[in-house]
Amino acid sequence: MTHWSSRLLAGELGISHSTVARVWAEHDVKPWQVETFKFSTDPQLDARVRDVVGLYLDPPAHAIVLCVDEKSQIQALERTQPVRPVRPGRRERRTHDYLRHGTTTLFAALEVATGRVTDACQPRHRHREFLAFLKLVAKAYPRRQLHVVLDNYATHKHAKVQAWLGSHPRVQLHFTPTYASWLNLVEVFFAIIERQALRRGDFASVEDLMAAIRRFVAGWNQRCQPFTWTKDADQILAKLNRQNTSATDH
């Protein structure tokens, strides 16, 4: 047995399951729920947290702070029968089986000060696709200093990317610590587009999928709002240090 239910524990203790449930509720114990975690072992953890959070809380004057990442392997799935929409007293219904029509990768750059997103879909996410997107972003913000927050994916550090950056010093990359994707605000946008446009979508082709992504981003940019970061680096690092030292050896 990996965990107790209220009825199993009640049977073991010889009490009612409602008593077990009440005690769990009083102490906010929820054994049916589980979360995952991973500690960052990045030797530059402190410096990178302070660098990225500093950009959010106190961006350089006259510069643009952008959060960039790729959402890879987005599948174009088509249900084998048309989806039956929600009706009074009836849930949306869909077949459990589907056809796979391929995948696309969404590249996105979120402007922290406005919430605006620059996007592009590519069939793959190698260094050449990333570099092409970086050039697209630079073109979207001409003659502005760009501070780009992104993760440690190898393509972001490729020699050809570094060579291009060397000849375009107005674009500076800032890397989040390893296993700390939550520091990149574009992940919030990815969660929203997944929930509102992709998860329950029905796409007959990759082209249909990419068109749906473009429509969503266009609508997003019409109503977008600034992304506001609230915690400073000291608060974040204090919490990370508590988590890293709270485990006991067995």
pLDDT tens, per residue, the chain with 250 residues: 788 888 988 888 899 989 989 998 999 989 888 876 666 777 888 889 899 999 999 999 999 999 999 999 999 988 877 777 888 888 887 778 778 999 999 999 999 999 999 999 999 999 999 999 999 999 999 989 999 999 988 889 999 999 999 999 999 999 998 888 888 999 999 999 999 999 888 899 999 999 999 999 999 999 999 988 988 888 888 877 765 544 444 3
Same domain? 73 vs 23: no
> Is position 122 within any domain?
yes
Same domain? 144 vs 21: no
CATH number for the domain that contains residue 56: 3.30.420.10
User: What sign does the dihedral 133-134-135-138 (CA atoms) show?
Assistant: positive
> Is 42:240 a contact under the CB 8 Å cutoff?
no
Burial of 98 (0-12, 13-18, 19+ CB in 10 A): middle
Domain that holds residue 71: 45-83+94-239
Same domain? 52 vs 29: no
> Is position 248 within any domain?
no
- Domain count for the chain, please give it: 2
Q: How many CB atoms lie within 10 A of CB 153?
A: 15
Q: How many CB atoms lie within 10 A of CB 190?
A: 19
